[in-house]
Structure 1
Amino acid sequence: MSQIASVSLRRPLSEVSDELGRSFAEYGFAIVRDHGISEELIERAEEKAKEFFALPEDVKRSYHVPGGGGARGYTPFGKEIAKDAKVHDLKEFWHVGRELSDGHELSQYMAPNIWPDEVDGFRATFETLYDAFDAAGRRVLEAIALHLELPRDYFEATVEDGNSVMRLLHYPPLDAEAAEGAIRAAAHGDINTITLLLGAEEAGLELLTRKGEWLAIDPPVGALVVNIGDMLERLTNGKLRSTTHRVVNPTGEAARRARYSMPFFLHFRPDFCIETLPSCIDPAHPDDHPAPITAHDFLAQRLREIGLA
Protein backbone atom coordinates (compact mmCIF):
# COMPACT_ATOMS: atom_id res chain seq x y z
CA MET A 1 0.00 0.00 0.00
CA SER A 2 1.83 3.04 -1.29
CA GLN A 3 0.41 5.67 1.08
CA ILE A 4 1.98 4.09 4.15
CA ALA A 5 5.71 4.66 4.61
CA SER A 6 7.93 1.64 4.03
CA VAL A 7 11.45 2.29 5.32
CA SER A 8 14.65 0.36 5.81
CA LEU A 9 16.32 0.58 9.21
CA ARG A 10 19.65 0.11 7.47
CA ARG A 11 19.39 3.80 6.61
CA PRO A 12 20.40 6.40 9.23
CA LEU A 13 17.43 7.14 11.48
CA SER A 14 17.85 10.86 10.80
CA GLU A 15 16.97 10.11 7.15
CA VAL A 16 13.83 8.06 7.84
CA SER A 17 12.44 9.64 11.03
CA ASP A 18 10.23 12.24 9.32
CA GLU A 19 9.00 9.73 6.73
CA LEU A 20 7.96 7.43 9.57
CA GLY A 21 6.54 10.32 11.58
CA ARG A 22 4.37 11.58 8.73
CA SER A 23 3.02 8.07 8.16
CA PHE A 24 2.24 7.63 11.86
CA ALA A 25 0.56 11.05 11.94
CA GLU A 26 -1.67 10.33 8.94
CA TYR A 27 -2.27 6.58 9.13
CA GLY A 28 -0.95 5.46 12.50
CA PHE A 29 0.98 2.75 10.62
CA ALA A 30 4.26 2.21 8.81
CA ILE A 31 6.18 -0.74 7.35
CA VAL A 32 9.73 -1.35 8.55
CA ARG A 33 12.24 -3.47 6.65
CA ASP A 34 15.75 -4.58 7.65
CA HIS A 35 14.71 -4.50 11.30
CA GLY A 36 17.34 -6.90 12.59
CA ILE A 37 15.15 -9.91 13.41
CA SER A 38 16.71 -12.78 11.49
CA GLU A 39 14.76 -14.80 8.95
CA GLU A 40 15.95 -18.02 10.62
CA LEU A 41 14.55 -16.90 13.99
CA ILE A 42 11.23 -15.88 12.45
CA GLU A 43 10.86 -19.25 10.72
CA ARG A 44 11.77 -21.16 13.88
CA ALA A 45 9.28 -19.14 15.92
CA GLU A 46 6.51 -19.81 13.41
CA GLU A 47 7.22 -23.55 13.59
CA LYS A 48 7.12 -23.56 17.41
CA ALA A 49 3.88 -21.57 17.49
CA LYS A 50 2.23 -24.00 15.07
CA GLU A 51 3.41 -26.93 17.18
CA PHE A 52 1.83 -25.44 20.27
CA PHE A 53 -1.52 -24.56 18.70
CA ALA A 54 -1.74 -28.09 17.22
CA LEU A 55 -1.73 -29.58 20.74
CA PRO A 56 -4.96 -31.09 22.12
CA GLU A 57 -7.40 -28.56 23.53
CA ASP A 58 -7.14 -29.87 27.10
CA VAL A 59 -3.34 -29.56 27.00
CA LYS A 60 -3.50 -25.96 25.79
CA ARG A 61 -6.14 -25.06 28.37
CA SER A 62 -3.90 -26.40 31.14
CA TYR A 63 -1.75 -23.31 30.49
CA HIS A 64 -4.64 -20.88 30.87
CA VAL A 65 -4.41 -18.72 34.02
CA PRO A 66 -7.92 -17.83 35.29
CA GLY A 67 -8.01 -14.27 36.58
CA GLY A 68 -4.63 -13.49 35.04
CA GLY A 69 -6.00 -11.06 32.49
CA GLY A 70 -4.40 -13.10 29.72
CA ALA A 71 -1.02 -11.60 30.63
CA ARG A 72 0.86 -14.90 30.47
CA GLY A 73 0.32 -18.31 28.94
CA TYR A 74 -2.69 -19.40 26.91
CA THR A 75 -5.94 -17.57 26.16
CA PRO A 76 -8.56 -19.88 24.61
CA PHE A 77 -10.49 -19.34 21.39
CA GLY A 78 -13.38 -16.90 21.73
CA LYS A 79 -12.20 -15.24 24.95
CA GLU A 80 -11.11 -11.76 23.80
CA ILE A 81 -13.64 -9.20 22.61
CA ALA A 82 -12.85 -5.80 21.10
CA LYS A 83 -14.07 -2.74 22.98
CA ASP A 84 -17.77 -2.12 22.15
CA ALA A 85 -17.94 -5.29 19.99
CA LYS A 86 -20.95 -7.63 20.25
CA VAL A 87 -19.18 -10.95 19.62
CA HIS A 88 -15.81 -12.43 20.49
CA ASP A 89 -12.88 -12.59 18.09
CA LEU A 90 -12.10 -15.80 16.21
CA LYS A 91 -8.65 -16.43 17.65
CA GLU A 92 -6.59 -18.06 20.38
CA PHE A 93 -3.21 -16.86 21.58
CA TRP A 94 -0.20 -17.27 23.87
CA HIS A 95 1.52 -14.44 25.73
CA VAL A 96 5.19 -14.09 26.62
CA GLY A 97 6.22 -11.20 28.87
CA ARG A 98 9.39 -9.69 30.22
CA GLU A 99 11.60 -11.82 32.44
CA LEU A 100 12.51 -9.86 35.59
CA SER A 101 15.16 -10.74 38.16
CA ASP A 102 14.13 -11.90 41.64
CA GLY A 103 13.13 -8.97 43.79
CA HIS A 104 12.90 -6.53 40.87
CA GLU A 105 11.09 -3.31 41.80
CA LEU A 106 8.50 -3.85 39.04
CA SER A 107 7.80 -7.54 39.70
CA GLN A 108 4.43 -6.69 41.27
CA TYR A 109 3.24 -5.64 37.82
CA MET A 110 4.58 -8.56 35.78
CA ALA A 111 3.85 -12.21 36.46
CA PRO A 112 6.48 -14.85 35.70
CA ASN A 113 6.26 -16.46 32.29
CA ILE A 114 4.72 -19.86 31.72
CA TRP A 115 6.37 -22.33 29.32
CA PRO A 116 4.78 -25.42 27.74
CA ASP A 117 6.64 -28.69 28.30
CA GLU A 118 5.29 -30.29 25.12
CA VAL A 119 7.18 -28.19 22.54
CA ASP A 120 10.97 -28.60 22.50
CA GLY A 121 12.86 -25.32 22.26
CA PHE A 122 9.76 -23.20 22.84
CA ARG A 123 11.22 -21.16 25.70
CA ALA A 124 14.63 -20.57 24.11
CA THR A 125 13.08 -19.55 20.80
CA PHE A 126 10.63 -17.05 22.21
CA GLU A 127 12.98 -15.53 24.76
CA THR A 128 15.33 -14.81 21.86
CA LEU A 129 12.52 -13.42 19.70
CA TYR A 130 11.25 -11.27 22.58
CA ASP A 131 14.66 -9.62 22.94
CA ALA A 132 14.91 -9.10 19.17
CA PHE A 133 11.48 -7.46 19.06
CA ASP A 134 12.43 -5.27 22.01
CA ALA A 135 15.59 -4.06 20.28
CA ALA A 136 13.75 -3.34 17.01
CA GLY A 137 11.05 -1.42 18.87
CA ARG A 138 13.56 0.76 20.68
CA ARG A 139 15.11 1.66 17.33
CA VAL A 140 11.71 2.72 15.97
CA LEU A 141 11.18 4.79 19.12
CA GLU A 142 14.50 6.53 18.48
CA ALA A 143 13.20 7.54 15.06
CA ILE A 144 9.94 8.77 16.59
CA ALA A 145 11.87 10.85 19.13
CA LEU A 146 13.84 12.50 16.32
CA HIS A 147 10.62 13.26 14.45
CA LEU A 148 9.14 14.85 17.59
CA GLU A 149 12.34 16.90 18.01
CA LEU A 150 13.06 15.22 21.34
CA PRO A 151 16.46 13.89 22.43
CA ARG A 152 17.17 10.74 20.43
CA ASP A 153 17.23 8.61 23.58
CA TYR A 154 14.09 10.19 25.10
CA PHE A 155 12.09 6.95 25.14
CA GLU A 156 14.88 4.75 26.57
CA ALA A 157 14.01 5.49 30.20
CA THR A 158 10.24 5.34 29.54
CA VAL A 159 10.36 1.75 28.24
CA GLU A 160 13.24 0.36 30.33
CA ASP A 161 11.84 -2.85 31.89
CA GLY A 162 8.49 -1.98 30.32
CA ASN A 163 5.53 -4.33 30.54
CA SER A 164 5.85 -5.40 26.89
CA VAL A 165 4.05 -8.52 25.72
CA MET A 166 4.67 -10.78 22.73
CA ARG A 167 1.56 -12.52 21.42
CA LEU A 168 1.55 -15.72 19.35
CA LEU A 169 -1.72 -15.63 17.43
CA HIS A 170 -3.65 -18.44 15.78
CA TYR A 171 -6.76 -17.79 13.71
CA PRO A 172 -8.18 -21.25 12.90
CA PRO A 173 -9.83 -22.04 9.55
CA LEU A 174 -13.23 -20.40 9.47
CA ASP A 175 -16.15 -22.33 10.90
CA ALA A 176 -19.51 -21.95 9.18
CA GLU A 177 -21.12 -22.04 12.63
CA ALA A 178 -19.21 -18.99 13.95
CA ALA A 179 -21.37 -16.33 15.58
CA GLU A 180 -22.98 -13.93 13.14
CA GLY A 181 -20.81 -10.88 12.64
CA ALA A 182 -17.70 -12.51 14.17
CA ILE A 183 -14.39 -11.81 12.44
CA ARG A 184 -10.85 -12.81 13.24
CA ALA A 185 -10.14 -9.53 15.06
CA ALA A 186 -12.85 -6.90 15.33
CA ALA A 187 -12.10 -3.22 14.85
CA HIS A 188 -9.95 -1.96 17.73
CA GLY A 189 -7.08 0.28 18.71
CA ASP A 190 -4.00 -1.01 20.52
CA ILE A 191 -3.51 -0.07 24.16
CA ASN A 192 0.26 0.14 24.30
CA THR A 193 3.07 2.44 23.08
CA ILE A 194 3.83 0.89 19.67
CA THR A 195 3.05 -2.51 18.18
CA LEU A 196 5.41 -4.44 15.92
CA LEU A 197 3.77 -7.20 13.90
CA LEU A 198 5.29 -10.16 12.09
CA GLY A 199 3.12 -12.29 9.83
CA ALA A 200 0.91 -9.68 8.20
CA GLU A 201 1.73 -10.94 4.70
CA GLU A 202 -1.40 -13.12 4.85
CA ALA A 203 -4.26 -10.90 3.68
CA GLY A 204 -6.72 -9.59 6.23
CA LEU A 205 -5.17 -6.70 8.18
CA GLU A 206 -6.91 -3.38 7.45
CA LEU A 207 -6.77 0.12 8.93
CA LEU A 208 -9.46 2.79 9.07
CA THR A 209 -8.44 6.04 7.37
CA ARG A 210 -9.48 9.55 8.37
CA LYS A 211 -12.02 9.36 5.54
CA GLY A 212 -13.67 6.33 7.12
CA GLU A 213 -12.38 3.90 4.49
CA TRP A 214 -10.83 0.51 5.22
CA LEU A 215 -7.39 0.10 3.62
CA ALA A 216 -5.57 -3.22 3.38
CA ILE A 217 -1.97 -3.41 4.57
CA ASP A 218 0.25 -5.54 2.37
CA PRO A 219 3.84 -5.67 3.66
CA PRO A 220 6.67 -7.58 1.97
CA VAL A 221 7.57 -10.97 3.43
CA GLY A 222 9.52 -10.64 6.68
CA ALA A 223 8.83 -6.93 7.18
CA LEU A 224 7.37 -5.50 10.36
CA VAL A 225 4.10 -3.62 10.36
CA VAL A 226 4.41 -0.97 13.09
CA ASN A 227 1.50 0.99 14.53
CA ILE A 228 0.98 3.60 17.23
CA GLY A 229 -0.86 2.57 20.41
CA ASP A 230 -3.22 4.57 22.60
CA MET A 231 -0.53 5.37 25.18
CA LEU A 232 1.69 7.11 22.63
CA GLU A 233 -1.26 8.88 21.03
CA ARG A 234 -2.14 10.23 24.46
CA LEU A 235 1.45 11.27 25.20
CA THR A 236 1.66 13.16 21.88
CA ASN A 237 -1.81 14.76 22.20
CA GLY A 238 -2.96 12.95 19.07
CA LYS A 239 -0.04 14.11 16.92
CA LEU A 240 0.70 10.42 16.31
CA ARG A 241 -2.49 8.42 15.72
CA SER A 242 -3.60 5.19 17.31
CA THR A 243 -5.66 4.00 14.37
CA THR A 244 -8.58 1.61 14.45
CA HIS A 245 -7.72 -1.62 12.64
CA ARG A 246 -9.08 -5.13 12.19
CA VAL A 247 -8.36 -8.56 10.71
CA VAL A 248 -11.17 -9.53 8.36
CA ASN A 249 -12.24 -13.01 7.36
CA PRO A 250 -10.82 -14.25 4.07
CA THR A 251 -12.89 -15.91 1.37
CA GLY A 252 -12.34 -18.86 -0.94
CA GLU A 253 -9.37 -21.14 -0.33
CA ALA A 254 -7.86 -18.77 2.26
CA ALA A 255 -10.89 -19.28 4.51
CA ARG A 256 -9.89 -22.94 4.88
CA ARG A 257 -6.36 -22.01 6.00
CA ALA A 258 -5.26 -21.07 9.49
CA ARG A 259 -3.61 -17.67 9.92
CA TYR A 260 -0.65 -17.14 12.25
CA SER A 261 0.99 -13.89 13.30
CA MET A 262 3.18 -12.52 16.10
CA PRO A 263 2.58 -8.99 17.40
CA PHE A 264 4.86 -7.44 20.01
CA PHE A 265 3.06 -4.88 22.17
CA LEU A 266 5.82 -2.56 23.38
CA HIS A 267 4.80 -0.86 26.63
CA PHE A 268 6.04 1.92 28.81
CA ARG A 269 7.27 1.05 32.30
CA PRO A 270 4.25 0.45 34.56
CA ASP A 271 5.25 3.42 36.74
CA PHE A 272 5.76 5.80 33.81
CA CYS A 273 3.36 8.75 34.06
CA ILE A 274 1.66 9.45 30.74
CA GLU A 275 1.42 13.23 30.61
CA THR A 276 1.10 15.20 27.38
CA LEU A 277 4.41 16.34 25.94
CA PRO A 278 4.55 20.17 26.16
CA SER A 279 5.90 20.30 22.59
CA CYS A 280 2.66 18.68 21.37
CA ILE A 281 0.43 21.40 22.85
CA ASP A 282 -0.29 24.70 21.08
CA PRO A 283 -3.30 27.03 20.65
CA ALA A 284 -4.58 24.96 17.73
CA HIS A 285 -4.08 21.71 19.67
CA PRO A 286 -4.94 22.19 23.36
CA ASP A 287 -4.23 19.32 25.73
CA ASP A 288 -6.97 16.72 25.22
CA HIS A 289 -5.86 14.67 28.25
CA PRO A 290 -4.94 17.05 31.07
CA ALA A 291 -5.08 14.37 33.80
CA PRO A 292 -1.85 12.31 34.00
CA ILE A 293 -2.19 8.54 34.41
CA THR A 294 0.39 5.83 34.99
CA ALA A 295 0.93 3.27 32.25
CA HIS A 296 -0.18 0.51 34.64
CA ASP A 297 -3.49 2.19 35.49
CA PHE A 298 -4.15 2.93 31.82
CA LEU A 299 -3.52 -0.72 30.91
CA ALA A 300 -5.70 -2.06 33.73
CA GLN A 301 -8.57 0.17 32.64
CA ARG A 302 -8.39 -1.00 29.03
CA LEU A 303 -8.00 -4.71 29.88
CA ARG A 304 -11.31 -4.53 31.73
CA GLU A 305 -12.92 -3.02 28.64
CA ILE A 306 -11.83 -5.88 26.35
CA GLY A 307 -12.79 -8.72 28.68
CA LEU A 308 -9.31 -9.86 29.74
CA ALA A 309 -9.56 -8.57 33.32
Structure 2
Amino acid sequence: MKLETIDYRAPDSAKHFVESLRETGFGVLSNHPIDKALVETIYEEWQAFFNSEEKNAFLFNRETHDGFFPASISEKAKGHTVKDIKEYYHVYPWGRIPDSLRANILAYYKNANDLATELLGWIEAHSPAEVKAKFSMPLPDMIAQSQKTLLRILHYPPMTGNEEMGAIRAAAHEDINLITILPAANEPGLQVKAKDGSWIDVPSDFGNIIINIGDMLQEASGGYFPSTSHRVINPEGTDKTKSRISLPLFLHANPPVVLSERYTAESYLTERLRELGVL
Protein backbone atom coordinates (compact mmCIF):
# COMPACT_ATOMS: atom_id res chain seq x y z
CA MET A 1 0.00 0.00 0.00
CA LYS A 2 1.21 3.49 -0.80
CA LEU A 3 -0.39 6.81 -0.04
CA GLU A 4 -0.43 8.89 -3.21
CA THR A 5 -0.60 12.67 -3.13
CA ILE A 6 -3.64 13.96 -5.04
CA ASP A 7 -3.76 17.34 -6.77
CA TYR A 8 -6.79 19.16 -5.32
CA ARG A 9 -7.16 21.13 -8.58
CA ALA A 10 -7.18 18.10 -10.89
CA PRO A 11 -10.54 17.42 -12.59
CA ASP A 12 -10.75 13.91 -11.08
CA SER A 13 -9.41 14.84 -7.63
CA ALA A 14 -12.66 14.15 -5.74
CA LYS A 15 -12.93 10.62 -7.15
CA HIS A 16 -9.31 9.70 -6.40
CA PHE A 17 -9.46 11.33 -2.96
CA VAL A 18 -12.49 9.29 -1.91
CA GLU A 19 -10.91 6.11 -3.33
CA SER A 20 -7.85 6.77 -1.16
CA LEU A 21 -10.03 7.27 1.94
CA ARG A 22 -11.91 4.06 1.19
CA GLU A 23 -8.70 2.06 0.71
CA THR A 24 -6.50 3.50 3.46
CA GLY A 25 -8.60 5.79 5.66
CA PHE A 26 -6.29 8.65 4.58
CA GLY A 27 -6.06 11.12 1.71
CA VAL A 28 -3.25 13.58 0.96
CA LEU A 29 -3.92 16.73 -1.10
CA SER A 30 -1.55 19.17 -2.76
CA ASN A 31 -2.48 22.55 -4.31
CA HIS A 32 -5.32 22.97 -1.81
CA PRO A 33 -6.78 26.34 -0.69
CA ILE A 34 -5.25 26.41 2.82
CA ASP A 35 -2.66 29.21 2.86
CA LYS A 36 0.82 27.74 3.35
CA ALA A 37 2.23 31.03 4.66
CA LEU A 38 -0.50 31.22 7.30
CA VAL A 39 0.30 27.69 8.49
CA GLU A 40 4.01 28.49 8.65
CA THR A 41 3.32 31.62 10.69
CA ILE A 42 1.11 29.65 13.09
CA TYR A 43 3.86 27.05 13.59
CA GLU A 44 6.29 29.83 14.51
CA GLU A 45 3.86 31.68 16.79
CA TRP A 46 2.79 28.62 18.72
CA GLN A 47 6.33 27.24 19.00
CA ALA A 48 7.21 30.47 20.80
CA PHE A 49 4.12 30.08 23.00
CA PHE A 50 5.04 26.51 24.00
CA ASN A 51 8.60 27.65 24.72
CA SER A 52 7.31 30.34 27.10
CA GLU A 53 5.86 30.35 30.60
CA GLU A 54 2.77 32.13 29.27
CA LYS A 55 1.23 28.75 28.46
CA ASN A 56 0.78 28.02 32.18
CA ALA A 57 -1.60 30.98 32.47
CA PHE A 58 -3.99 29.18 30.10
CA LEU A 59 -4.29 25.79 31.83
CA PHE A 60 -7.24 23.84 30.46
CA ASN A 61 -10.73 24.17 31.88
CA ARG A 62 -11.84 20.81 33.25
CA GLU A 63 -15.46 21.51 32.32
CA THR A 64 -15.03 22.85 28.79
CA HIS A 65 -11.62 21.37 27.82
CA ASP A 66 -10.32 24.53 26.16
CA GLY A 67 -6.81 25.75 26.93
CA PHE A 68 -3.35 24.30 27.57
CA PHE A 69 -2.72 20.64 28.47
CA PRO A 70 0.81 20.15 29.86
CA ALA A 71 2.85 17.01 29.22
CA SER A 72 2.30 15.91 32.83
CA ILE A 73 -1.37 15.21 32.15
CA SER A 74 -1.10 14.34 28.45
CA GLU A 75 -3.55 11.69 27.27
CA LYS A 76 -2.94 7.97 26.87
CA ALA A 77 -4.16 6.39 23.64
CA LYS A 78 -6.98 3.87 24.04
CA GLY A 79 -5.53 0.55 25.19
CA HIS A 80 -2.17 2.06 26.21
CA THR A 81 -0.76 2.62 29.69
CA VAL A 82 2.04 5.09 28.87
CA LYS A 83 1.40 8.77 28.22
CA ASP A 84 2.24 10.23 24.83
CA ILE A 85 5.24 12.57 24.68
CA LYS A 86 3.42 15.80 23.91
CA GLU A 87 1.69 18.90 25.20
CA TYR A 88 -1.14 20.66 23.44
CA TYR A 89 -3.65 23.49 23.35
CA HIS A 90 -7.35 23.12 22.57
CA VAL A 91 -8.82 25.93 20.48
CA TYR A 92 -12.53 26.50 20.13
CA PRO A 93 -13.76 29.87 18.78
CA TRP A 94 -15.72 30.33 22.02
CA GLY A 95 -12.77 29.31 24.22
CA ARG A 96 -9.77 31.08 25.72
CA ILE A 97 -7.03 31.99 23.25
CA PRO A 98 -4.02 34.27 23.89
CA ASP A 99 -4.85 37.64 22.31
CA SER A 100 -1.63 37.75 20.29
CA LEU A 101 -2.40 34.36 18.71
CA ARG A 102 -6.14 34.75 18.15
CA ALA A 103 -6.38 36.25 14.65
CA ASN A 104 -4.24 33.74 12.76
CA ILE A 105 -5.45 30.62 14.54
CA LEU A 106 -9.13 31.54 14.06
CA ALA A 107 -8.48 32.35 10.39
CA TYR A 108 -7.00 28.87 10.00
CA TYR A 109 -9.91 27.33 11.94
CA LYS A 110 -12.41 28.89 9.53
CA ASN A 111 -10.44 28.03 6.38
CA ALA A 112 -9.97 24.41 7.42
CA ASN A 113 -13.67 24.14 8.32
CA ASP A 114 -14.60 25.46 4.87
CA LEU A 115 -12.33 22.89 3.22
CA ALA A 116 -13.75 20.11 5.40
CA THR A 117 -17.27 21.04 4.33
CA GLU A 118 -16.24 20.72 0.68
CA LEU A 119 -14.45 17.41 1.26
CA LEU A 120 -17.42 15.92 3.10
CA GLY A 121 -19.43 16.83 0.01
CA TRP A 122 -16.88 14.94 -2.11
CA ILE A 123 -17.19 11.92 0.17
CA GLU A 124 -20.97 11.87 -0.05
CA ALA A 125 -21.02 12.44 -3.82
CA HIS A 126 -18.69 9.49 -4.42
CA SER A 127 -20.29 7.08 -1.93
CA PRO A 128 -22.37 4.17 -3.25
CA ALA A 129 -26.14 4.65 -3.03
CA GLU A 130 -26.46 2.09 -0.24
CA VAL A 131 -23.89 4.00 1.84
CA LYS A 132 -25.49 7.40 1.17
CA ALA A 133 -28.79 5.93 2.36
CA LYS A 134 -27.24 5.38 5.78
CA PHE A 135 -26.50 9.08 6.29
CA SER A 136 -29.22 10.74 8.39
CA MET A 137 -28.55 14.06 6.63
CA PRO A 138 -26.02 15.40 4.09
CA LEU A 139 -22.51 15.00 5.51
CA PRO A 140 -21.62 18.73 5.22
CA ASP A 141 -24.75 19.60 7.22
CA MET A 142 -23.58 17.40 10.10
CA ILE A 143 -20.79 19.87 10.93
CA ALA A 144 -22.61 23.14 10.10
CA GLN A 145 -21.97 25.69 12.89
CA SER A 146 -20.74 22.88 15.15
CA GLN A 147 -19.48 24.08 18.53
CA LYS A 148 -17.74 20.74 19.09
CA THR A 149 -15.19 20.93 16.26
CA LEU A 150 -11.80 21.04 17.95
CA LEU A 151 -8.51 22.52 16.76
CA ARG A 152 -5.63 21.01 18.69
CA ILE A 153 -2.21 22.65 18.50
CA LEU A 154 0.19 19.84 19.33
CA HIS A 155 3.76 20.35 20.49
CA TYR A 156 6.08 17.35 20.50
CA PRO A 157 9.15 18.58 22.40
CA PRO A 158 12.75 17.57 21.65
CA MET A 159 13.73 14.16 23.02
CA THR A 160 15.81 14.27 26.20
CA GLY A 161 16.69 10.60 26.67
CA ASN A 162 14.71 10.51 29.94
CA GLU A 163 11.37 9.55 28.37
CA GLU A 164 9.31 6.80 29.97
CA MET A 165 10.06 3.33 28.61
CA GLY A 166 7.81 2.59 25.64
CA ALA A 167 6.59 6.16 25.25
CA ILE A 168 6.28 7.65 21.77
CA ARG A 169 5.03 11.01 20.56
CA ALA A 170 1.57 9.64 19.78
CA ALA A 171 0.74 5.97 20.29
CA ALA A 172 -1.41 4.16 17.74
CA HIS A 173 -4.98 5.41 17.85
CA GLU A 174 -8.03 6.26 15.79
CA ASP A 175 -9.78 9.64 15.81
CA ILE A 176 -13.27 9.97 17.29
CA ASN A 177 -14.74 12.56 14.89
CA LEU A 178 -16.04 12.52 11.28
CA ILE A 179 -12.85 13.58 9.49
CA THR A 180 -9.59 15.23 10.56
CA ILE A 181 -7.83 17.96 8.56
CA LEU A 182 -4.08 18.19 9.16
CA PRO A 183 -1.46 20.35 7.40
CA ALA A 184 1.77 18.40 6.93
CA ALA A 185 3.75 19.06 10.13
CA ASN A 186 7.09 20.82 10.29
CA GLU A 187 8.79 17.46 10.95
CA PRO A 188 8.03 13.90 9.70
CA GLY A 189 6.84 11.04 11.90
CA LEU A 190 3.17 10.41 11.06
CA GLN A 191 2.46 6.82 10.03
CA VAL A 192 -0.72 4.93 9.10
CA LYS A 193 -1.34 1.21 9.64
CA ALA A 194 -1.86 -0.78 6.45
CA LYS A 195 -4.28 -3.69 6.08
CA ASP A 196 -1.38 -6.15 6.43
CA GLY A 197 -0.38 -4.62 9.78
CA SER A 198 2.69 -2.76 8.51
CA TRP A 199 3.26 0.95 9.17
CA ILE A 200 3.51 3.35 6.23
CA ASP A 201 4.89 6.88 6.31
CA VAL A 202 2.33 9.55 5.46
CA PRO A 203 3.80 12.01 2.90
CA SER A 204 4.97 14.97 4.96
CA ASP A 205 5.95 17.47 2.27
CA PHE A 206 5.27 20.89 3.74
CA GLY A 207 2.32 22.42 1.91
CA ASN A 208 0.36 19.17 1.64
CA ILE A 209 -2.77 18.65 3.69
CA ILE A 210 -3.64 15.28 5.19
CA ILE A 211 -7.20 14.09 5.80
CA ASN A 212 -8.22 10.97 7.67
CA ILE A 213 -11.48 9.23 8.49
CA GLY A 214 -12.64 9.24 12.11
CA ASP A 215 -14.77 6.75 14.00
CA MET A 216 -17.97 8.79 13.62
CA LEU A 217 -17.84 8.57 9.82
CA GLN A 218 -16.98 4.88 10.04
CA GLU A 219 -20.09 4.44 12.21
CA ALA A 220 -22.29 6.59 9.96
CA SER A 221 -21.17 4.74 6.81
CA GLY A 222 -21.70 1.29 8.30
CA GLY A 223 -17.97 0.65 8.15
CA TYR A 224 -17.59 1.54 4.47
CA PHE A 225 -15.07 4.27 5.29
CA PRO A 226 -12.42 2.89 7.66
CA SER A 227 -11.11 4.80 10.67
CA THR A 228 -7.49 3.70 10.38
CA SER A 229 -4.94 3.45 13.19
CA HIS A 230 -2.15 6.01 12.99
CA ARG A 231 0.72 7.14 15.19
CA VAL A 232 3.58 9.63 15.45
CA ILE A 233 6.89 7.88 15.99
CA ASN A 234 9.91 9.25 17.82
CA PRO A 235 12.61 10.93 15.71
CA GLU A 236 16.09 9.50 15.31
CA GLY A 237 19.56 10.99 15.05
CA THR A 238 19.85 14.76 14.98
CA ASP A 239 16.07 15.06 14.55
CA LYS A 240 15.74 14.16 18.24
CA THR A 241 16.70 17.75 19.08
CA LYS A 242 13.83 19.23 17.04
CA SER A 243 10.35 20.13 18.20
CA ARG A 244 7.34 19.16 16.11
CA ILE A 245 4.20 21.29 15.80
CA SER A 246 0.99 19.80 14.41
CA LEU A 247 -2.44 21.36 13.75
CA PRO A 248 -5.16 18.68 13.56
CA LEU A 249 -8.72 19.99 13.20
CA PHE A 250 -11.17 17.36 14.41
CA LEU A 251 -14.50 17.89 12.64
CA HIS A 252 -17.25 16.90 15.05
CA ALA A 253 -20.89 16.48 14.11
CA ASN A 254 -23.42 18.52 16.05
CA PRO A 255 -24.52 16.60 19.18
CA PRO A 256 -28.09 15.71 18.00
CA VAL A 257 -26.89 14.28 14.65
CA VAL A 258 -27.90 10.64 14.27
CA LEU A 259 -24.88 8.56 13.25
CA SER A 260 -26.57 5.14 13.31
CA GLU A 261 -29.28 3.17 15.04
CA ARG A 262 -26.91 2.89 17.99
CA TYR A 263 -25.56 6.41 18.37
CA THR A 264 -26.06 10.12 18.10
CA ALA A 265 -22.89 12.20 17.82
CA GLU A 266 -23.32 13.20 21.49
CA SER A 267 -23.73 9.66 22.83
CA TYR A 268 -20.82 8.43 20.73
CA LEU A 269 -18.49 11.20 21.89
CA THR A 270 -19.49 10.70 25.53
CA GLU A 271 -18.80 6.96 25.34
CA ARG A 272 -15.37 7.48 23.80
CA LEU A 273 -14.32 10.22 26.22
CA ARG A 274 -15.25 7.93 29.12
CA GLU A 275 -13.11 5.18 27.59
CA LEU A 276 -10.20 7.62 27.42
CA GLY A 277 -10.71 8.67 31.04
CA VAL A 278 -11.45 12.27 30.09
CA LEU A 279 -14.95 12.15 31.63
Question: TM-score over 0.5 for the alignment?
Answer: yes
| Residue among 61, 65, 76 paired with 2:70 | 76
Q: Which residue of 2 aligns with 1:297?
A: 267
Please tell me whether residue 23 in structure 1 is matched to residue 5 in structure 2: no
Q: Which residue of 2 aligns with 1:124?
A: 103
Q: Which residue of 2 aligns with 1:42?
A: 39
> CA offsets per residue over residues 215-250 of structure 1, 9 Å max, x none?
111232211111000000111111111000100101
SS in 2 for 1:37: coil
Q: For the Cα contact (< 8 Å) 2:58–2:67, is it kept in 1?
A: yes
1:243 and 1:68 map into 2 onto residues whose CA distance is: 29
**Equivalent position amino acid for 1:303 in 2:** L
Q: Any runs of at least 4 consecutive aligned residues in structure 1 with deviations exceeding 4 A, and if so which?
A: none
| Residue among 137, 142, 145 paired with 1:161 | 145
Q: Which residue of 1 aligns with 2:215?
A: 230
1:62 and 1:308 map into 2 onto residues whose CA distance is: 21
1:49-88 maps to which residues of 2 (within 5 A)? 49-56=46-53, 59-68=54-63, 71-78=65-72, 79-88=74-83
1:170 and 1:115 map into 2 onto residues whose CA distance is: 16
> CA offsets per residue over residues 58-87 of structure 1, 9 Å max, x none?
x32331234236x31111114211001010
Q: Which residue of 1 aligns with 2:157?
A: 172
1:1-309 maps to which residues of 2 (within 5 A)? 3-12=2-11, 15-56=12-53, 59-68=54-63, 71-78=65-72, 79-97=74-92, 99=93, 112-117=94-99, 120=100, 122-149=101-128, 150=132, 154-162=138-146, 163-200=148-185, 202-275=187-260, 291-309=261-279
Q: TM-score if structure 1 supplies the norm length? A: 0.83
1:39 and 1:22 map into 2 onto residues whose CA distance is: 25
**Equivalent position amino acid for 1:113 in 2:** G
- How far is 1:308 from its partner? 2.8
Q: Which sections of structure 1, spanning at least 5 residues, go unmatched?
A: 100-111, 276-290
Identity, in percent, stands at 33
- How far is 1:154 from its partner? 2.2
If you compute each CA radius of gyration, which structure gives the higher value, 1 or 2?
A: 1
Q: For the Cα contact (< 8 Å) 1:164–1:264, is it kept in 2?
A: yes
SS in 1 for 2:113: helix
> CA offsets per residue over residues 113-160 of structure 1, 9 Å max, x none?
10225xx2x111111010011011111111101111459x92222111
- How far is 1:306 from its partner? 2.2
**Equivalent residue pairs, number:** 271
Q: Which residue of 2 aligns with 1:285?
A: none
> CA offsets per residue over residues 184-213 of structure 1, 9 Å max, x none?
000000000001111336221111111011
- How far is 1:165 from its partner? 0.8
> CA offsets per residue over residues 14-55 of structure 1, 9 Å max, x none?
x22331222112210110122211122112211221121011
